[in-house]
Amino acid sequence: MAVPLLDIANHNRPYFLKMKETLSQWLESGQYIGGEHVTGFENEVSELLEVKDTIAVSSGTDALLLALMALGIKTGDEVICPSFTFFATGGVVHRLGAIPVFADMLPESFNIDPRDVEAKITSKTKAIIPVHIFGQMVDMEAISSITEKHKIPIIEDAAQAIGATQNGKRAGSIGDYGSFSLYPTKNFSAFGDAGFLTTQSEELAKHARILRIHGMDPIYYHSEVGGNFRFDPIQGALLRIKLPDIDSQNLKRDENAKFYQKKLGNHSEVSVGYSEGSDARITLPTTDEGNQHVWHQFTIRVHGEGEREQLMGWLRERQIGCGIYYPLGLHDQECFKSVTEGKPPLPVTEKACKEVLSIPIFPELTENQLSEVSDAILGYLDN
Ligand SMILES: Cc1ncc(COP(=O)(O)O)c(C=O)c1O
């Protein structure tokens, strides 16, 4: 039985009937920019994520860029972010002429290492972007205690972590801004590009709203330069139909993760959770104390030279989807060579990039499919 890494159309299919109706009403409405589907979407997201305000924008990348612009990040400023993340996190910093300073990660959670963040702070550090990678929140108490000491703002990159919580607080509700992507592969996904920013500050919300449309306030008057980061109302209209199901779908992902932890974790060569020096051949990811993980990815580590590529080939021969997120840290990317020249390596990130492999975790997986994936991995270990 083939098991894809993702099945986006299948995920959206239960909503199609209602969506087709909404689409035809929207076409008739003539409201193709702004309006009730944008503000309604923003209000509903604010309520769900327990934030003061939400500013819907054109993509997750634009959400990050807009947050940095609203915080006044400029040429020569330093912004600390992880190396083990999607390119956008570091790319937006560079686009503003600022310097991305890459911190190493924790091997257990794949999240940024707060100790390395603290070590990399200088007088030029003007923001920190912790990324809640794969759906699990960064230790925000540790990050906040650093930023409070140094008076540095936080942009939570929660692109992969909508709905995740830490000690009862939602991702995106702690930092100065929370930044989200609605890219079609995300846990809560649009029908094209879209994203949003969250904030608990009225002032920061107002600033981001003005910069979202060319820094215009009032109409045709510009005291600063923004961009066109508008969110399409058609995305809002369709997303509002799916929004009430975010938590239940995330819980289904968590059940799937528990299935793998139980079924694969019984094998003597599998370790549930990372431990340095272990002789396990495969390590399964776990959830840190106090976190509710939303499993955007279920990312295992396959130890040993060439082992990950062999397992990948084995799974693909059996038509089981899998993918590498991420094969190369941002600090090792060609385009950042000028930024990282002469800087020390990030050994934890570099090791993870050689070992990570993500396997199917989407909420619609059936028990048969979960067994198929697990049996294939167990078969590989016993081969
Ligand atoms: C961690 C992270 N940050 C930022 C982004 C950028 O989002 P988008 O693709 O919507 O621009 C993504 C996703 O693609 C992401 O995974």
* The predicted structure's pLDDT at residue 284: 98
Query: Pocket residues for ligand 1 (CB within 6 Å)?
Result: 59-61, 85-86, 88-89, 131, 157, 159-160, 181, 183, 193, 195
| pLDDT tens-place string over residues 104-130 | 999 999 999 999 999 999 999 999 999
C-alpha 81/C-alpha 101 separation (Å) is: 6
For residue 222, give both structure tokens.
């510009």
* The predicted structure's pLDDT at residue 6: 97
Nearest atom, ligand 1, residue 131 CA: 1
Residues contacting residue 266 through CB under 8 Å, at least 6 positions apart:
none
Which whole number is the average pLDDT over 342-356? 97
Nearest atom, ligand 1, residue 195 CA: 10
Cα atoms in the Cβ-side hemisphere of radius 13 Å centred on 375 = 11
Nearest atom, ligand 1, residue 194 CA: 10
Single-letter residue type at 23: L
* The predicted structure's pLDDT at residue 359: 98
CA 361 to chain centre: 15
C-alpha 298/C-alpha 283 separation (Å) is: 11
Phi and psi dihedrals of 73, rounded to 5?
A: -70, 130
Determine contact, residues 89/64, Cβ cutoff 8 Å: yes
CATH of 246-382, one of 1.10.150.20, 3.40.50.300, 3.90.1150.10, 3.40.630.30: 3.90.1150.10
Which whole number is the average pLDDT over 24-39? 97
* The predicted structure's pLDDT at residue 369: 98
How close is the Cα of 182 to the center of ligand 1, in Å? 8
Q: How confident is the model at residue 291 (pLDDT cuts 50, 70, 90)?
A: very high
C-alpha 116/C-alpha 112 separation (Å) is: 8
* The predicted structure's pLDDT at residue 173: 98
Residues contacting residue 41 through CB under 8 Å, at least 6 positions apart:
54, 56, 231, 235, 236, 239, 240, 243
* The predicted structure's pLDDT at residue 98: 98
SS3 label, residue 321: coil
C-alpha 101/C-alpha 370 separation (Å) is: 39
CA-to-CA dists, residue 47 to 54, 166, 177, 244, 247, angstroms: 9, 17, 16, 11, 13
Which whole number is the average pLDDT over 369-381? 98
Strands of the sheet containing 99-103, edge to edge, are 99-103, 78-82, 125-128
Single-letter residue type at 290: G
How close is the Cα of 371 to the center of ligand 1, in Å? 30
Cα atoms in the Cβ-side hemisphere of radius 13 Å centred on 39 = 4
C-alpha 126/C-alpha 80 separation (Å) is: 8
How close is the Cα of 183 to the center of ligand 1, in Å? 7
Q: How confident is the model at residue 267 (pLDDT cuts 50, 70, 90)?
A: very high
| pLDDT tens-place string over residues 182-238 | 999 999 999 999 999 999 999 999 999 999 999 999 999 999 999 999 999 999 999
> Where would I find the beta strands (DSSP E) of 65-140?
78-82, 99-103, 125-128
Determine contact, residues 363/252, Cβ cutoff 8 Å: yes
Q: How confident is the model at residue 382 (pLDDT cuts 50, 70, 90)?
A: very high
Q: How confident is the model at residue 153 (pLDDT cuts 50, 70, 90)?
A: very high
* The predicted structure's pLDDT at residue 254: 98
Q: How confident is the model at residue 36 (pLDDT cuts 50, 70, 90)?
A: very high
Pocket test for ligand 1, best of 61, 129, 358 (most atoms within 8 A of CB): 61
How close is the Cα of 150 to the center of ligand 1, in Å? 27
* The predicted structure's pLDDT at residue 292: 98
* The predicted structure's pLDDT at residue 299: 98
Q: How confident is the model at residue 97 (pLDDT cuts 50, 70, 90)?
A: very high
| pLDDT tens-place string over residues 301-341 | 999 999 999 999 999 999 999 999 999 999 999 999 999 99
Domain map (residue ranges) of the chain? 8-244, 246-382
Which whole number is the average pLDDT over 81-99? 98
The pLDDT > 70 percentage for the chain reads: 100
SS3 label, residue 299: strand
Q: Tokens 């930024």 appear where?
A: 339
* The predicted structure's pLDDT at residue 199: 98
Pocket test for ligand 1, best of 160, 180, 294 (most atoms within 8 A of CB): 160
How close is the Cα of 382 to the center of ligand 1, in Å? 37
For 31-35, 150-154, 274-278, 361-365, which range has the lowest pLDDT when averaged over its residues? 274-278
- Structurally, at CATH architecture level, domain 8-244 sits in 3-Layer(aba) Sandwich (3.40)
